[in-house]
Amino acid sequence: MTTISPKALATLEQLAEIHEFAKGMAAVGSIEQATKEAHAAHAHQSQIVEEAKRNAVMFVNHAKVQADIQAAAIEADTAALKARYDELNEHYQAQVAAKAQLDSDVATAEAKLKAATDKLAQLAASLA
Protein backbone atom coordinates (compact mmCIF):
# COMPACT_ATOMS: atom_id res chain seq x y z
CA MET A 1 0.00 0.00 0.00
CA THR A 2 1.19 3.42 -0.91
CA THR A 3 1.12 6.20 1.60
CA ILE A 4 0.60 9.78 0.64
CA SER A 5 2.50 12.44 2.42
CA PRO A 6 0.52 15.09 4.19
CA LYS A 7 2.02 17.73 1.91
CA ALA A 8 0.91 15.79 -1.21
CA LEU A 9 -2.53 15.28 0.35
CA ALA A 10 -2.82 19.01 1.02
CA THR A 11 -1.79 19.71 -2.58
CA LEU A 12 -4.40 17.27 -3.86
CA GLU A 13 -7.05 18.93 -1.68
CA GLN A 14 -6.02 22.34 -3.04
CA LEU A 15 -6.18 20.99 -6.58
CA ALA A 16 -9.66 19.61 -5.86
CA GLU A 17 -10.75 23.01 -4.50
CA ILE A 18 -9.27 24.76 -7.56
CA HIS A 19 -11.08 22.25 -9.79
CA GLU A 20 -14.41 22.92 -8.00
CA PHE A 21 -13.78 26.67 -8.21
CA ALA A 22 -13.03 26.36 -11.95
CA LYS A 23 -16.23 24.35 -12.47
CA GLY A 24 -18.16 27.05 -10.58
CA MET A 25 -16.56 29.76 -12.72
CA ALA A 26 -17.40 27.81 -15.86
CA ALA A 27 -21.01 27.53 -14.65
CA VAL A 28 -21.08 31.28 -13.97
CA GLY A 29 -19.66 31.88 -17.44
CA SER A 30 -22.32 29.62 -18.93
CA ILE A 31 -25.04 31.46 -17.02
CA GLU A 32 -23.63 34.81 -18.16
CA GLN A 33 -23.48 33.55 -21.75
CA ALA A 34 -27.01 32.18 -21.50
CA THR A 35 -28.18 35.51 -20.06
CA LYS A 36 -26.49 37.39 -22.92
CA GLU A 37 -28.11 35.07 -25.45
CA ALA A 38 -31.50 35.45 -23.76
CA HIS A 39 -31.15 39.26 -23.87
CA ALA A 40 -30.14 39.08 -27.53
CA ALA A 41 -33.09 36.78 -28.31
CA HIS A 42 -35.45 39.14 -26.47
CA ALA A 43 -34.06 42.12 -28.38
CA HIS A 44 -34.48 40.23 -31.66
CA GLN A 45 -38.04 39.27 -30.69
CA SER A 46 -38.78 42.92 -29.83
CA GLN A 47 -37.47 43.97 -33.26
CA ILE A 48 -39.71 41.38 -34.94
CA VAL A 49 -42.73 42.60 -32.95
CA GLU A 50 -41.99 46.23 -33.84
CA GLU A 51 -41.56 45.33 -37.51
CA ALA A 52 -44.85 43.40 -37.42
CA LYS A 53 -46.55 46.45 -35.88
CA ARG A 54 -45.12 48.72 -38.60
CA ASN A 55 -46.23 46.28 -41.29
CA ALA A 56 -49.72 46.10 -39.79
CA VAL A 57 -49.97 49.90 -39.71
CA MET A 58 -48.76 50.12 -43.31
CA PHE A 59 -51.29 47.45 -44.35
CA VAL A 60 -54.15 49.27 -42.61
CA ASN A 61 -53.09 52.60 -44.11
CA HIS A 62 -52.87 51.03 -47.57
CA ALA A 63 -56.33 49.52 -47.13
CA LYS A 64 -57.70 52.91 -46.06
CA VAL A 65 -56.17 54.60 -49.11
CA GLN A 66 -57.62 51.91 -51.41
CA ALA A 67 -61.04 52.31 -49.77
CA ASP A 68 -60.85 56.10 -50.20
CA ILE A 69 -59.92 55.68 -53.87
CA GLN A 70 -62.81 53.28 -54.44
CA ALA A 71 -65.22 55.57 -52.60
CA ALA A 72 -64.12 58.52 -54.74
CA ALA A 73 -64.56 56.45 -57.91
CA ILE A 74 -68.04 55.37 -56.79
CA GLU A 75 -68.98 58.97 -55.99
CA ALA A 76 -67.74 60.11 -59.41
CA ASP A 77 -69.67 57.31 -61.14
CA THR A 78 -72.79 58.16 -59.14
CA ALA A 79 -72.51 61.84 -60.04
CA ALA A 80 -72.06 60.98 -63.73
CA LEU A 81 -75.04 58.63 -63.67
CA LYS A 82 -77.22 61.24 -61.94
CA ALA A 83 -76.22 63.87 -64.50
CA ARG A 84 -77.08 61.46 -67.34
CA TYR A 85 -80.40 60.60 -65.65
CA ASP A 86 -81.25 64.30 -65.29
CA GLU A 87 -80.38 64.86 -68.95
CA LEU A 88 -82.54 61.95 -70.13
CA ASN A 89 -85.39 62.94 -67.81
CA GLU A 90 -85.31 66.49 -69.15
CA HIS A 91 -85.43 65.14 -72.72
CA TYR A 92 -88.33 62.84 -71.77
CA GLN A 93 -90.24 65.69 -70.16
CA ALA A 94 -89.71 67.79 -73.30
CA GLN A 95 -91.08 64.91 -75.42
CA VAL A 96 -94.11 64.55 -73.12
CA ALA A 97 -94.79 68.28 -73.44
CA ALA A 98 -94.34 68.11 -77.24
CA LYS A 99 -96.77 65.17 -77.44
CA ALA A 100 -99.31 67.04 -75.33
CA GLN A 101 -98.96 70.05 -77.66
CA LEU A 102 -99.37 67.77 -80.71
CA ASP A 103 -102.44 66.14 -79.16
CA SER A 104 -103.87 69.60 -78.54
CA ASP A 105 -103.05 70.72 -82.09
CA VAL A 106 -104.66 67.54 -83.52
CA ALA A 107 -107.79 68.11 -81.40
CA THR A 108 -107.95 71.74 -82.55
CA ALA A 109 -107.48 70.71 -86.20
CA GLU A 110 -110.14 68.00 -85.87
CA ALA A 111 -112.55 70.52 -84.34
CA LYS A 112 -111.86 73.01 -87.15
CA LEU A 113 -112.25 70.24 -89.75
CA LYS A 114 -115.59 69.20 -88.23
CA ALA A 115 -116.75 72.80 -88.14
CA ALA A 116 -115.70 73.28 -91.77
CA THR A 117 -117.35 69.98 -92.77
CA ASP A 118 -120.55 71.02 -91.00
CA LYS A 119 -120.45 74.41 -92.72
CA LEU A 120 -119.90 72.77 -96.10
CA ALA A 121 -122.79 70.41 -95.39
CA GLN A 122 -124.99 73.43 -94.53
CA LEU A 123 -123.89 75.24 -97.69
CA ALA A 124 -124.50 72.14 -99.77
CA ALA A 125 -127.95 71.76 -98.18
CA SER A 126 -128.80 75.40 -98.80
CA LEU A 127 -127.72 75.17 -102.45
CA ALA A 128 -129.69 72.06 -103.08
The pLDDT assigned to 64 comes to: 98
Structural domain boundaries in the chain: 1-91
Predicted TM-score (pTM) of the model is 0.49
What pLDDT digit, counting tens, does each position of 46-82 carry? 899 999 999 999 999 999 999 999 999 999 999 999 9
* Distances 77 to 82, 90, 115 between C-alpha atoms, Å: 9, 20, 56
The pLDDT assigned to 1 comes to: 59
**CB within 8 Å of 4: residues ≥ 6 apart:** 12
